[in-house]
Structure 1
Amino acid sequence: MSLLLPFPRATAPLTLDDLDGIAKIYPHGEPDHLKIVRPQIEQRASLIKTWGIKPGEKVLEIGCGQGDCTVVLATAVGDGGSVTALDPASLDYGSPYTLGQAQAYLKASSVGPRITFVQADPIAFLAQTTERYTTAVLAQCSWYFASPQVWSDILAALLQRVDRVCVSEYALSAGDPRAAAHVLATFAQAALEVHKDGGKSTSNVRTVFSPARLKSAAISTGLKVESEILMRPPEGMLDGKWEVGWVLSAGFAKEIDDHVKDEREKAVVIAARDSVQAAVELLKAKDEKVATMDIWVATFVKEA
């Protein structure tokens, strides 16, 4: 892995429309990596514009990971705002850069003074903090939760600390037919994950929620939907390619053998994997590549 390169100092304040400028202060070691980062930043900026996050806001981001949404949030809130970016994962977790490396890099950037990174369980953090926030953001992180109850518990805790909750998650739909393989790969991973301990898993898909289930749980905790849309990811966003690649890898096949002992249950996971392979072969026949599935974007506020 390349060392993180020094980021260019901004000569003027960044805005959400300066996607290249934001991408250049996100960690990347080699020039080609910018091609991967740029669509991610574009998608995060689209989220934040949809949610209407304004300068001066005090944002709590749950599931910040390496900070691709954090850096865009910090741009949006400006010098008068702040982002508390929370993630329970080990600082050694992540690739090509660990959470610790990426977060340290962003802290040293031009928007770093606006960011506070916290390594903590979200529910434990919300139980002990006395801070109030204008907005909580959960951007494509719910599938990392160990169980559906974690999602409900986080929302219940947020009710006491925020004015609104902004959520995005993969929608399990393929408005672009090239994304069908990504949807199938998600269910293949989910079929394997139910045979693991969710609290110890390090997979990208640990608990699958549909938008309907996320929304139902939010309403049950006392929130109401203020707005919701489906968003098509930018061309070049590689999440679908990465997830499909993992499902078709030898490592995934080994995990099936390691974790699924019942032959009928194993047949289900293998069939799910085979369906991903079949979808990829159809794309290859048309000289097309895997795309990333739709993203559900919603804003919730407290019931009056």
Structure 2
Amino acid sequence: MNNDILENVLSCMLLSDGASNIQRVQTEHRIKLAELWDIKAGSRVLEIGCGQGDTTAVLAYLVGDNGLVHGIDIASPDYGSPITLGDAISHLKQSKLGKQIDIRFEVDVLSPDVDFPDHYFDTIVLSHCSWYLKSFEELSRILEKVKRWGKSLCLAEWDTRIKTMEQFPHFLAVSIQAQYECFKESSFSNIRTLFTPEDLKELAVNAGWKIVKEQSINSTDLQDGGWEVDFTLSEYVSELNELPHAPEKLKAYIQSEVKLLKDASANCSSIQSLSTYTFIAE
């Protein structure tokens, strides 16, 4: 990895106290993805689900002064902690990368009001955002709608095919969370629909895309696995209490899964994040 890219991107990002090492690891991962996607200088990129701009900053650096990263996210700018999406993006837009970035919050890509000319973008990116979506149908409709806007599609998401037992707690935590979501009418959770790599490929192909390259990359150093385990263990009681319509047998099953998660976490030398599955489609 080119260390100059990493340092340049980090210098443009808003960091919370004590989070510099966390952001360094997160940004290294996004650089790895963007290099696999072969993002070119001068490219026009649409990033769906841009969030706080972890991937946006890397894309903006790579497209350069003559490129554009147009990011959209359905969340409000005051979402997020300890730094809100709005504060993170405002800081990024005021940096040296700001002139090639256009970010819009509270935008639903499926709204009839959201449209672009055919082939307006060189690349459409969905980076670690598909699990935030409500359903398979929603992702399917997004992939169908954006097909005519871009020449290529680059997607990255956690790879549910665990490769080591140290990744098992991360998988189990997100699986537990995904089960809650089946009974929610609205949600602000990180995991709302759990897609496997095969699911993602199938949805893309059915939407008219052709997968030209796919890869599973090591992302075990990312902190997300530990975060999801901690969140699941701290919130499962309140989550179950807020699901009055869930079958009691399912609640009992989830409680058994939580016991497995506690045991797996306690007996792991370290919790590792899942690998990341990514593909390029045209």
Taking structure 2 as the reference length, the TM-score comes to 0.94
Is the aligned partner of 1:212 residue 2:179? Answer: no
Alpha carbons of 1:33 and 1:103: their partners in 2 closer, same or farther (altered >3 Å)? same
SS in 1 for 2:280: strand
Kept after mapping to 2: 8 A contact 1:16/1:45: no
Offset at residue 90 of structure 1 (A): 1.0
Number of residue pairs the alignment of both structures matches: 278
Q: How does 1:121-270 map to 2 (within 5 A)?
A: 121-124=108-111, 127-130=114-117, 132-197=120-185, 200-233=186-219, 235=221, 237-249=222-234, 251-260=235-244, 261-270=246-255
Q: Structure 1 residue 94: deviation in Å? A: 0.5
- Structure 2, unmatched stretches of 5+, are none
RMSD between superposed Cα atoms in Å: 1.5
Q: 2:271 aligns with which of 290, 294, 298?
A: 290
SS of aligned partner of 1:230: strand
1:256-290 CA-partner distances (Å, limit 9, x unpaired): 1221542101112212222211110111xxxx221
Which residue identity does 1:108 align to in structure 2? Q
- Following superposition, the deviation at residue 127 of structure 1 comes to 4.2
**5 Å matches for 1:72-91?**
72-91=58-77
How far apart, in 1, do the equivalents of 2:164 and 2:82 lie? 28
8 Å contact kept, 1:42–1:234: no
State the match for 1:6 in structure 2.
none
Instruction: Note the C-alpha offset of 1:17.
Output: 4.5
2:108/2:114 contact within 8 Å kept: no
SS of the residue 1:172 aligns to: coil
Offset from partner CA, 1:27-62 (integer Å, 9 cap, x none): 1132x2101100100000000000111101000000
Q: Structure 1 pair 40/169, CA: closer, same or farther in 2 (3 Å)?
A: same
- Tell me, in whole angstroms, the C-alpha distance in 2 between the residues paired with 1:277 and 1:298: 33
Write the letter of the residue equivalent to 1:19.
L
Assess if the C-alpha contact under 8 Å between 1:143 and 1:207 holds in 2: yes
CA contact under 8 A between 1:65 and 1:87: conserved in structure 2? yes
Tell me the residue number matched to 1:12: none
Judge conservation of contact 2:22–2:223 (CA < 8 Å) in 1.
yes
Relative to structure 1, the CA distance from residue 48 to residue 125 in structure 2 (aligned partners, 3 Å threshold; closer, same or farther) is farther
The one-letter amino acid of 2:232's match is: V
| Cα deviation 1:88-110 (Å, max 9, x = unaligned) | 10111111111111110111011
Question: Which of 104, 107, 130 is the matching residue for 2:90?
Answer: 104
Distance 1:17 1:184 in 2: 37
1:276 corresponds to 2:257:
no
Alignment-mate amino acid for residue 276 of structure 1: L
Worse-matched range after superposition: 70-79 or 270-279: 270-279
Aligned residues: percent identity?
Answer: 34
Letter of the 2:274 counterpart: M
Whether 2:3 is the aligned partner of 1:19: answer: no
Q: Is the CA contact (8 Å cut-off) linking 1:187 and 1:272 kept in structure 2?
A: no
Are the aligned partners of 2:154 and 2:281 in contact in 1 as well (CA < 8 Å)? yes
Q: Distance in 2 between matches of 1:90 and 1:156?
A: 25
